[in-house]
Amino acid sequence: MTASTANAQRFREFKMPDVGEGLTEAEILKWYVQPGDTVTDGQVVCEVETAKAAVELPIPYTGVVHELRFGEGVTVDVGTAIIAVDTDPGAGPAEAPAAAPQEATADEEAEPQGRQAVLVGYGAAPSSTKRRARKPQPGVPAQPEPAKAALQAELNGRAAPAAPATPVAPAVQPAPAAPAGSAVPAAGRPLAKPPVRKLAKDLGIDLATILPTGPDGIITREDVHAAATPAAAPAEAPAPVAVAAAEPGTVDTAARERRVPVKGVRKATAQAMVASAFTAPHVTEFITVDVTRTMKLVQELKQDPDMAGLRVNPLLLVAKAFLVALKRHPEANAAWDEANQEIVYKDYVNLGIAAATPRGLIVPNIKDAGAKTLPQLASELGDLVATAREGKTSPAAMAGGTVTITNVGVFGVDTGTPILNPGESAILAFGAVKLQPWVHKGKVTARQVTTLALSFDHRLVDGELGSKLLADVAAVLERPKRLITWG
């Protein structure tokens, strides 16, 4: 066994896992360990936020933390090493993992053989991907090495290094195609990973103006940051703005605005809502119902010994009413399979509950909710809400929903037009319960009234089916004994 092999086995790297379904990146929210701390297999070492939720990551090694590769608040691609652990700290003085290529000089980076310099880790191995050389553009000469350095210096906002005294004859013929590993920007779409493209877009940087330094001519995050740093200076106080600010009647609001990067749960919610709104044809129907009897039942259930220790509230009975109505109209519990051009009818109900959390809106769901008793439903509903408020909801808890309830009434709102959770067929909005004049037994009297709104995917649910579903939910809440006769 060679020294390098033994060193690699001793220092184990833990890479950012895909903790959801096809996630590509996650933000490190908090480190629970520091270099020098002892860790054991299965110990939680950090908390990360994905596009779906905050998740704690356990490490699969036992040893001593050698290095944290990224700080808190940094977004890291899935598959990137985030922590290194010395699994045999008693073997002697710790040697850093073989990251020597990090110290490579510019001359070494230009060599096509050997490892490439990287910011962290053991260095990238020579790429096994063979990229086809791009065809040269007519009349575009190849750039010699001094020209590359001058271009990069200009893009980065620094003075170009002194060119060697060797004269360079002007090129008059089209240059041959650049080799696949060349760092010269080739014609066509620049090579960059999706997170790097997004970073460039957020910073207002055109990728075509950046000279790549990554392997195989790929633009890295560092390239984008280097190109963006000098560009910020001249934009701070342009002369025309100063003149415009002096004009009467104009107000400079820049100092009173805040810009926050869109990421994590907020980013995922935005993408999901846009995809749903412009994919599924939404129809929303409304109904106002007297829920006085339901509110009395809530108070009675709170005193029931079978519900002791459980949270009983109007949302619990609305959820049960929705499940009973879906049992009477199972065709409404379906999904649209665009790829196979099929409708998938589901014989189970995973009931989603929209929950507002400090990180944004999430929709965890109660698995197989239709098969649960009222006490079981109350227990899982309470656990779901508590976990969501703590920010500990797992991606698995938010996957596979079929229908959803959103309780806008807790904010004093009468109703709304909710947007479907992607992949689901319907969402029920439960509005505020208020005392209102109502005709009851032929007399106008004060009754507890609420408004329900049901949005459904019109590809799956026709108007008649959607109307019957909503009417049955209202009928159960008006006369909750139907939970027995219909359930």
Q: Report the C-alpha gap between 312 and 333 in whole angstroms.
A: 26
Options 66, 225, 282, 458, the catalytic residue: 458
Asked if 66 is an active-site residue, the reply is: no
Give first-to-last CA distance, the chain, whole Å.
69
Q: Can you say whether the dihedral through the CA atoms of 454, 455, 460, 461 is positive or negative?
A: positive
Q: Pull the structure tokens for residue 103.
A: 């110290």
Strand locations in 225-350 (E): 282-290, 334-337, 342-345
320 Cβ neighbours under 8 A, 6+ residues apart: 374, 377, 476, 483, 487
Distances (CA, A) of 271 to 8, 304, 336, 407, 459: 40, 44, 19, 22, 21
- Beta strands at 365-366 and 355-357: parallel, antiparallel or unpaired: unpaired
Q: Report the C-alpha gap between 282 and 460 in whole angstroms.
A: 10
Looking at residue 351, its amino acid is: L
- Beta strands at 334-337 and 443-457: parallel, antiparallel or unpaired: unpaired
Q: Pull the structure tokens for residue 335.
A: 């999904």
| Residue 453, H or E segment | strand 443-457
Report yes or no: 54 and 40 within 8 Å, Cβ to Cβ.
no
Count how many residues are written for the chain: 487
The residues annotated with a catalytic role in the active site are: 458
